[in-house]
Structure 1
Amino acid sequence: MEGSQSKSIRVKLVEIFLIVSVTVFVIVIFIYYNLNRTIREMDTVYNSNIQFNDLSENVGEIQNSLYQYLSTKSSDSLEDYYRYSQDYQELLDGLNNQVSGDPVKLAEKNIYYLSQTYLEVADEAVDRKRGRDAAGVRESYQETEEIYGYIQANISSVNTSTFVSNAKNYSTLRVILSYTTGFSICVLFGVMAIAVGWIIMMTRSITKPLIELAGVATEIAQGNMDVDFPIVETGDEVTAVAKACNKMIGSIRNYIEETKRNYERENELVANELRMKNDLKEAQLKYLQAQINPHFLFNSLNAGAQLAMMEGAEKACMFIQNMADFFRYNVRKMEKDVTLREELQLVDSYIYILNVRFAGDIHYSRQIDERLLDISMPSMILQPIIENAVNHGIREMEGEGVIHLSVFGNEAEVCIEITDNGVGIEPETAAKVMRGESVHSMSGRDSEGIGLDNVINRLRSYYGRQHVFEIRRREEGGTAVTLYIPKKGEELEDDENTDL
């Protein structure tokens, strides 16, 4: 954020909440204080009347219990007398007993002293009753009745004058209470209205820029990249978001322009590459046309095979026939997918041709799971491996060469393993082969066919994974090559493994 006046949205919302909450709290406290003060004043108005009523009732109970005791000398009556006398004394302690110019206070003083005299005379009557002084009891009781009458008269007079005064005060307090309540409610509603209006204004100042940003974002989402986010200097996160979004839109525009330029360059490169491929194919076609016609070669080889058969040269016939099959496979299957069965047939023809060339020095055996022969794979995969085993393994050794091919599998993939008993591959060379690099033999004799790098790269590209090829030096001598071919859901038959 920029500037000392910048505030985040969170700070603004917290300020709104605190100010509104504190204002409402102060108003509520003000209303509560005034209502309670008025109620306390109203309670004070009636407390004096209640106090004099209690005095009147209590002194009446004393007089009644005294009469009962003096008449019957009952212990229960005496006990009531003492209890009411004690309660009456506590009530008297709350009266004024000092000289005052207030008529009510002066009346309270007279009641206080009359009551003290009354209690003394009543106690004297009780004592005379205990002393069996009948004449004294009658005299004391008559005196208590006289004083009791004065007390009740004074209480009634004070109570009446106090009630009249309190009634006026009560009416005044009720009016004050009504005005206070109405005023407090008006103030509360006014403050709430101001607070709500302020909150609406503040939230609108926060949400309006966000709504504008959302509208621009909707246009951009619909594909209009020519609009910019409006910059509203609110001093909070909205401004920062708008600026950041404009930078992002600028970067996206630049990226789109760069992508268009790259796409155009790529199209030009693709067009040039297509032209080059067409020129190359045309040159290859012209080159092939300059060579022996493949069909003429097949027909000639077949004619030679028939001639050799007619002359009784069965070995020559078989050799020519395998040569024809080998060339036919190369020409027809090079750009197509084949089955493992067809690849193995090509290997058989190739081994036969090699044994004719090398006087049968290559011993070839295989162990095949017939259930796996119909899986699909790229063409010309196994023959280069056999060729590599002969050229860089068996031909470098003395004695007979042995090549063994086995096909087995599990639920996920088919494994094709080709082993030989040649000189074996060096670990460094094996590592280069696994990386898909072109590697020649140590003797400098290059392969005349397809290299292992081509085989590995085609397998990885065809199956879309790296783990398709493994080459290693065997501990017992020679080299082992293993291909891992995914099954791709082919169904297996229940045939037994077949040894050939």
Structure 2
Amino acid sequence: MEESQSKSIRVKLVEIFVMVSITVFVIVIFIYYNLNRTIREMDTVYNSNIQFNDLSANVSDIQNSLYQYLNTKSSDALEDYYRYSQDYQELLDVLNQEVSSDPAKLAEKNIYYLSQTYLEMTDEAVERKRGRDAAGVREAYQETEEIYGFIQANINSINTSTFVSNARSYSNLRVILSYTTGFSICVLFAVIAIAVGWIIIMTRSITKPLIELANAATEIAQGNIEVDFPIVETGDEVSVVAKACNKMIGSIRNYIEETKKNYERENELAANELRMKNDLKEAQLKYLQAQINPHFLFNSLNAGAQLAMMEGAEKACMFIQNMADFFRYNVRKMEKDVTLQEELQLVDNYIYILNVRFAGDIHYSRQINEKLLHISMPSMILQPIIENAVNHGIREMEGEGCIHLSVFGEEDEVCIEITDNGVGIEPEIAEKIMRGENAHSMSGRDSEGIGLDNVINRLRSYYGRQHVFEIKRRETGGTSVTLYIPKEGKEREDDENTDL
């Protein structure tokens, strides 16, 4: 990668700042140098006039102090004379002393040598004054007066010519200064404009990719994850961020796609699991329903045959009719839900058959809330309970057996209670039946609780809860079995009991 393509944003900004600063600094130095040079030339123009003015003023001071001393012989005047003479000599030392073709330089040389002669004559006048040579003082002073006049005339002449020349030079320098100032200002503004344009171009090259990234990020934040971050090969952090963001968006898309696939897979598995559970539940119901004890069929048919032989066709016909209804219900309703009313009709048929078998020794009574007869429930639920009460309660007692069935409402449940006056069930056996242990530990026709285990498992599987069955020994004797059937959203109804 080239050097220009590997600079960070910070380096680019520093370069812009340094280049602009150096350029402006160079332009300012250039302007400052030209302005100062022009000003120095203008100062030089007037320095020559000032120099000759200083010479004229200084030589006048020498002449005045000399005059005062010669007239008064004052020590102050003498001291002023020496001081002015020294200052004047210093001013003379800067004048041209060489031969030159320049009139101005030649005039300076003449002034220098006249001034040296003048100073010699003033010193001679002072010495004669000290020697009390009055005639010599007067003669020396007159010579100084004459030389003084020549010096002032030469100074005025050269000062005038120099002033005229300097005036022309000053005018030219003013024009040059104006042009220089204008040119410098134009150059400065041009450089500033170029620098500003360069800064705008550079900052736009930096900020434009950032703006595009921000726009893409806004669309992604609004839910459009199909947008890609624009890749601009700027060679700085912007392109690095764009590439990293594109990788991140790609990872997010892959993650979302995998999540969708997993979600669909989980839904499919859940649906399959639900179907399997339903199939298993149906198979369990069919399996449990298929466990109905078949021995009753054989005993009932034998009893019907005996009755037909001993008594007449009418009773045999009634018996066989009830048997037919019983088995017809068993065959037709095995795989269907039934109403409580249909289950109670089956119990009536079953009780009739039992009384034929046991010569009317079973007394059966009901107390039903007729408003609850329409509730739905599995088939062949009540008959195994009646059969269990007869086989394990009433058959083992002396005297008339009694079975009482009642249906009543209790909060959100329908309670079906079946009681008998048999020998009663032992509490330990009742607990085993409730836990489902008894059916797996005993076998045979007379085993305790085979039918009840069937009923309990079917009810729990059908309603999907454990609290559906209760069996216990009655304090007055016999056994009490209670079924708890959910009303399944039906409104709670007040108990209206009818004795049948």
TM-score after normalising by structure 2: 0.55
CA distance, structure 1, for counterparts of residue 18 and residue 78 of structure 2:
67
1:103 equivalent to 2:103? Answer: yes
Q: Which residue of 2 aligns with 1:202?
A: 202
Q: CA deviation at 1:32?
A: 1.8
Q: How does 1:350-429 map to 2 (within 5 A)?
A: none
Q: Which residue of 2 aligns with 1:239?
A: 239
Q: Which residue of 1 aligns with 2:92?
A: 92
**Counterpart amino acid of residue 173 in structure 2:** L
CA distance, structure 1, for counterparts of residue 275 and residue 161 of structure 2:
126
| Residues 3, 163 of structure 1: alpha-carbon distance in 2 compared, 3 angstrom cutoff | closer
SS in 2 for 1:27: helix
Q: Which residue of 2 aligns with 1:151?
A: 151
Count of matched residue positions in the alignment of Structure 1 and Structure 2:
308
1:19 equivalent to 2:33? Answer: no
Q: CA deviation at 1:110?
A: 1.1
1:256 equivalent to 2:263? Answer: no
Cα deviations across residues 351-375 of structure 1 (Å, max 9, x unaligned)?
xxxxxxxxxxxxxxxxxxxxxxxxx
Q: Which residue of 1 aligns with 2:6?
A: 7
Q: Which residue of 2 aligns with 1:398?
A: none
CA distance, structure 2, for counterparts of residue 218 and residue 22 of structure 1:
40
**Counterpart amino acid of residue 220 in structure 2:** I
CA distance, structure 2, for counterparts of residue 78 and residue 192 of structure 1:
65
Q: Which residue of 2 aligns with 1:339?
A: none
CA distance, structure 2, for counterparts of residue 145 and residue 14 of structure 1:
75
Q: Which residue of 1 aligns with 2:52?
A: 52
Q: CA deviation at 1:112?
A: 0.7
Q: Which residue of 1 aligns with 2:303?
A: none
CA distance, structure 2, for counterparts of residue 85 and residue 236 of structure 1:
78
CA distance, structure 2, for counterparts of residue 200 and residue 11 of structure 1:
16
CA distance, structure 2, for counterparts of residue 129 and residue 4 of structure 1:
91
Cα deviations across residues 157-202 of structure 1 (Å, max 9, x unaligned)?
1100000010001001111111111111111111211221122122
Q: CA deviation at 1:219?
A: 0.2
Cα deviations across residues 271-324 of structure 1 (Å, max 9, x unaligned)?
56667888999979x99x99999x999x99xxx9xxxxxxxxxxxxxxx9xx9x
**Counterpart amino acid of residue 56 in structure 1:** S
Q: Which residue of 2 aligns with 1:35?
A: 35
**Counterpart amino acid of residue 130 in structure 2:** R
Identity, % of aligned pairs? Answer: 80
Q: Which structure 2 segments of 5+ residues have no match? A: 290-380, 390-414, 436-500
| Residues 77, 279 of structure 1: alpha-carbon distance in 2 compared, 3 angstrom cutoff | farther
Q: How does 1:94-493 map to 2 (within 5 A)?
A: 94-269=94-269
| Residues 133, 3 of structure 1: alpha-carbon distance in 2 compared, 3 angstrom cutoff | closer
Q: CA deviation at 1:270?
A: 5.1
Cα deviations across residues 18-61 of structure 1 (Å, max 9, x unaligned)?
33223222222222222122111111111100000000111111
Cα deviations across residues 314-350 of structure 1 (Å, max 9, x unaligned)?
xxxxxx9xx9xxx9xx99xxxxxxxxxxxxxxxxxxx
Q: Which residue of 1 aligns with 2:475?
A: none
Q: Which structure 1 segments of 5+ residues have no match? A: 305-319, 332-500
Alpha-carbon RMSD across the aligned residues, in angstroms, is 3.7
**Counterpart amino acid of residue 179 in structure 1:** Y
SS in 1 for 2:5: coil
| Residues 4, 153 of structure 1: alpha-carbon distance in 2 compared, 3 angstrom cutoff | closer
Q: Which residue of 1 aligns with 2:71?
A: 71
| Residues 4, 104 of structure 1: alpha-carbon distance in 2 compared, 3 angstrom cutoff | closer
CA distance, structure 2, for counterparts of residue 94 and residue 144 of structure 1:
23
Q: CA deviation at 1:113?
A: 0.9
CA distance, structure 1, for counterparts of residue 48 and residue 167 of structure 2:
12
SS in 2 for 1:216: helix
SS in 2 for 1:155: helix
Q: Which residue of 1 aligns with 2:449?
A: none
Q: CA deviation at 1:144?
A: 1.2
CA distance, structure 2, for counterparts of residue 87 and residue 218 of structure 1:
86
CA distance, structure 2, for counterparts of residue 276 and residue 135 of structure 1:
158
| Residues 277, 58 of structure 1: alpha-carbon distance in 2 compared, 3 angstrom cutoff | farther
**Counterpart amino acid of residue 230 in structure 1:** P
Q: CA deviation at 1:268?
A: 4.6
CA distance, structure 2, for counterparts of residue 72 and residue 137 of structure 1:
13
Q: CA deviation at 1:258?
A: 1.2
TM-score after normalising by structure 1: 0.55
Q: CA deviation at 1:6?
A: 1.2
| Residues 4, 184 of structure 1: alpha-carbon distance in 2 compared, 3 angstrom cutoff | closer
CA distance, structure 1, for counterparts of residue 111 and residue 117 of structure 2:
10
Q: CA deviation at 1:83?
A: 0.7
Q: CA deviation at 1:14?
A: 2.9
Q: CA deviation at 1:236?
A: 2.8
| Residues 3, 60 of structure 1: alpha-carbon distance in 2 compared, 3 angstrom cutoff | closer
Q: CA deviation at 1:153?
A: 0.9
**Counterpart amino acid of residue 154 in structure 2:** N
CA distance, structure 2, for counterparts of residue 189 and residue 243 of structure 1:
41
CA distance, structure 2, for counterparts of residue 160 and residue 3 of structure 1:
70
CA distance, structure 1, for counterparts of residue 6 and residue 97 of structure 2:
69
SS in 2 for 1:226: coil
Q: CA deviation at 1:141?
A: 1.4
Q: CA deviation at 1:4?
A: 5.4
CA distance, structure 1, for counterparts of residue 121 and residue 267 of structure 2:
131
**Counterpart amino acid of residue 167 in structure 2:** A
Q: CA deviation at 1:256?
A: 0.8
**Counterpart amino acid of residue 245 in structure 2:** C
Q: Which residue of 2 aligns with 1:311?
A: none
CA distance, structure 1, for counterparts of residue 44 and residue 281 of structure 2:
119
Q: Which residue of 1 aligns with 2:498?
A: none
Q: CA deviation at 1:233?
A: 2.6
CA distance, structure 1, for counterparts of residue 5 and residue 149 of structure 2:
84
Q: CA deviation at 1:204?
A: 1.3
Cα deviations across residues 423-442 of structure 1 (Å, max 9, x unaligned)?
xxxxxxxxxxxxxxxxxxxx
CA distance, structure 2, for counterparts of residue 120 and residue 4 of structure 1:
80
CA distance, structure 2, for counterparts of residue 233 and residue 119 of structure 1:
87
Q: Which residue of 2 aligns with 1:313?
A: none
